Structure 1
Amino acid sequence: MTVAASAVPERVVLAARPQAALRLYCVPPAGAGPECYLRWAPLLPPWIEPCSVALPGRGTRAAEPSLTDPAYLSARLAAVLDDWTDPRPYAVFGHSAGALLAYEATRHLRRTHGRPPSLLAVSSLSAPHIDAYSAGLPPRLTAGLEGIRELVGPIPDQLLADARLMAAACTPLLADCLLLLHYRHHPEPPLDVPLALYGGEHDPVTSVPDLQAWNDLVTTPTRVQLFPGGHTYLQTETKALVDRLTETLDPALYARAAATA
């Protein structure tokens, strides 16, 4: 497959804070662009610079062909995260399909001797080594609107009433579902990176045991932190999630700084 040179993730700075001590990269969930994290900027303290990534075929880049190769995208995402022009520590948060890209980008950085994140935070996605994607996604993709609602939450009436709008909204979602279905986990040693695990209390897509299984992939296990809601809990529990993540980032930042001093 030939991939255009421009088909790479692009950094999006949600609120420029050049004096911030830490950059936080938020990788969008399935079908979404960086705009889904705009509400995070005013909720984060000044010492965190909120960033995201724009992927081909999603959000403002919806006119571009979507890419569904997880290895290609995660390698290019790694180059965005480990920015040689910015020596500040960084953390990465990924929700849904974004969690897989964040994890694989971190593994790619280790393989290439890049700079690891101070924290890897994953949300609402089963651990990649337990083969849950091929079992859980096809039934939802064949269940019509109810299956789609489980993945993205409520669907506005104006989308349901316009077939073209509905197609435009569903195309990037389906692309990210294909990305998950294309994924094959290759065992490597556990990551020596602090981990945070988040999820919804009533998530029909990702169970608590499937979230807990992420602990198999790191050297220091952590507990799952749950919030009210389902698979898209971050839409309704934004402040609670950002507050919890901020509390985790502070000690993670200084622990990583001490380890690399």
Structure 2
Amino acid sequence: MLAARPQAALRLYCVPPAGAGPDCYLRWAPLLPPWIEPCSVALPGRGTRAAEPSLTDPAYLSARLAAVLDDWTDPRPFAVFGHSAGALLAYEATRHLRRTHGRLPSLLAVSSLSAPHIDAYSAGLPPRLTAGLEGIRELVGPIPDQLLADARLMAAACTPLLADCLLLLHYRHRPEPPLDVPLALYGGEHDPVTSVPDLQAWNDLVTTPAPVQLFPGGHTYLQTETKALVDRLTETLDPARYARPVATA
């Protein structure tokens, strides 16, 4: 949990991007209003769970995430935001909740990832993984000099990133009815990894289409446009704090 707010009207779960830990959302807590309780998901292989092996099975990991999202001890509405590989996990966890008759999020917000049913991962990831440092920089942004100078640190940083890339490459989309869940779509204006049409394709997977909202920057705009993104997300979430949790079909 990024900030404990038991009186908040809504809980926001943030799923980290490829290779990142929950600390990538630390700056969100002071930017969010008191009625939102921010939580960041700690995935195996990074952050405080760095000693655990990373998981590369998207079905298994999304089922584990679904169990976290639908917390039976907390009846408040919740929303889920996922950036990059985190967007896929957020989406599949939501589908898992529907299949198992769990509570659905009041909002599914996805950022900087092509829609999962258009088979963009197998086409876009291998060229970047074989392009060396330049390809990695497109995925994660600037790499600190201290990492480049230390092979062990670089290996520790790249291992969860490569695991998440494998997760995306292992993924196969299984058609299901569109999700009846509000959707928000975010991306960078100059993202070399995820194009606007590939973001727009997420609308094929929900009952109510949403416009793509763009911010200055590339695939890692999340790092430089934090306040602008949090402000936009807060505006989108505002109606959800007055609504009841979304029921399953």
CA shift for structure 1 position 254: 3.4
- Bigger mean CA deviation after superposition, 42-51 or 244-253: 244-253
What secondary structure, in the 3-state scheme, does the structure 2 residue paired with 1:121 have? strand
SS, match of residue 92 in structure 1: strand
Residue 239 of structure 1, CA deviation: 0.2
* Structure 1 residues 114 and 236, CA gap change in structure 2 (3 angstroms): same
- How far apart are the structure 2 equivalents of 1:68 and 1:253? 34
Following superposition, the deviation at residue 253 of structure 1 comes to 3.9
Give the structure-2-normalised TM-score.
Answer: 0.97
Q: Deviations over 1:79-98 (max 9, x none)?
A: 00000000000000000000
| Contact 1:119-1:253 at 8 Å conserved across structures | no
Distance 2:35 2:196 in 1: 31
Look up the match of 2:60: 72
Determine if contact 1:31/1:169 at 8 Å carries over to the other structure: yes
CA contact (8 A) 1:31 1:171 kept: yes
The answer to whether the 8 Å contact 2:105/2:245 transfers is no
- Which residue pairs with 1:227 in the alignment? 215
Cα distance per residue 1:106-164 (max 9 Å; x no partner): 00000000000000000000000000000000000000000000000000111111111
Shift in alpha-carbon separation, 1:258–1:38, aligned structure 2, 3 A: closer
The CA distance in 2 between the partners of 1:259 and 1:67, in whole Å, is 30
Unaligned runs of 5+ in 1: 1-12
Native 8 Å contact 2:104 2:247 kept in 1: no
Counterpart-to-counterpart distance in 2, 1:198 and 1:131: 19
Does the C-alpha gap of structure 1 residues 217 and 253 become closer, same or farther in structure 2, counting only changes over 3 Å? farther
Helix, strand or coil at the partner of 2:27: helix
Residue in structure 1 matching 2:118, options 117, 130, 139: 130
Q: Is the 8 A contact 2:77 2:240 kept in 1?
A: no
2:70 and 2:102 in contact (8 A); partners too: yes
Change (3 A) 1:132 1:260: closer
Determine which structure has greater relative contact order: mean sequence separation of CA pairs < 8 Å that are 6+ residues apart, divided by chain length: 2
Whether the aligned pair in 1 keeps the contact of 2:104 and 2:245 (CA below 8 Å) is no
Q: Quick one: structure 1 residues 170 and 258, their matched pair in 2 at CA, closer, same or farther if it must change by over 3 Å?
A: closer
> Does structure 2 retain, via aligned residues, the 8 Å contact 1:194–1:252?
no
Q: Aligned with 2:41: secondary structure?
A: strand
Pick closer, same or farther for the CA change 1:77–1:153 going to 2, 3 Å: same
Distance 1:260 1:54, change over 3 A: closer
Q: Distance in 1 between matches of 2:22 and 2:16?
A: 6
The 1:235/1:202 distance shift into structure 2, 3 A limit, reads: same
Give, in whole Å, the separation in 1 of the partners of 2:112 and 2:213: 11
Residues in 1 aligned to 2:47 and 2:192: alpha-carbon distance in whole angstroms: 25
**Using the alignment, how far apart are the partners of 1:164 and 1:33 within structure 2?**
18
1:87 corresponds to: 75
Q: Give the 4+ runs in structure 1 shifted more than 2 A.
A: 252-261
The percent identity for this pair of structures is 96
Q: Secondary structure at the match of 2:202?
A: helix
How large is the Cα RMSD of the aligned pairs?
A: 1.5
Aligned counterparts of 2:58 and 2:163: Cα–Cα separation in 1? 11
TM-score if structure 1 supplies the norm length?
Answer: 0.93
Report if the CA contact (8 A) 1:33-1:59 is conserved: yes
Following TM superposition, by how much is the alpha carbon of 1:60 offset from its aligned partner in structure 2, in angstroms? 2.0
- Work out the CA distance in 2 between the residues paired with 1:150 and 1:60: 26
